[in-house]
Amino acid sequence: MARGSSGGNRLWLWLAIAAIIVVLDQFTKTLILSDFAYGDSRPVTAFFNVVRVHNTGAAFSFLAGGSGWQRWFFVALAIGVSGFIVWMLRSQGHQKLFAWALTLILGGAVGNVIDRLLHGYVVDFLDFHWAGWHFPAFNLADSAITLGAVLLILDELRRVRRG
């Protein structure tokens, strides 16, 4: 099989995994939107609740207080980053840890962009807390992005050790 064709097959694999992440993310958010009113919270354990909150900003509600421009800024940013990630996956898809990292980030970014386009906000629902302190609520897309970022760091540390 030619090198270009093999790389193309790899790209489709990574894009399929990203699509699965998007589907799972949107499925969970659909469940939350249908079963919870805004602000609802249901305890699951002593340190974890399922909630429904809306985030018009980015991570940790960064820029959430903006007048609405941030919605389109984050959509444009995610589209640009997604294009760059697809380009990187096309050329570097053979580097498994790196490709996994990019794929997780891609799936999470697309999942949150869909929310911004459909609702104007991102649906968050995972609420971890301890002794009255709550970590900012997040969702599966955020988890995928975070895991992808951790894998990027691990990949770079491995690269530095080998070099």
Q: What is the pLDDT of residues 89-110, one digit of tens each?
A: 999 989 999 999 999 999 999 9
Domain that holds residue 18: 3-162
Distance (Å, whole) CA 98 – CA 6: 17
Residues recognised as catalytic: 124, 142
Give the burial class of 17: count Cβ atoms within 10 A of its Cβ; 0-12 exposed, 13-18 middle, 19 or more buried.
middle
Residue 140 has pLDDT above 90, yes or no: yes
Count of domains for the chain: 1
What does the pLDDT read at residue 61? 59
Distance (Å, whole) CA 7 – CA 114: 28
What does the pLDDT read at residue 39? 95
135: helix, coil or strand?
Answer: coil
pLDDT band at 11 (very low <50, low <70, confident <90, very high): very high
Q: Averaged over 8-33, what is the pLDDT?
A: 95
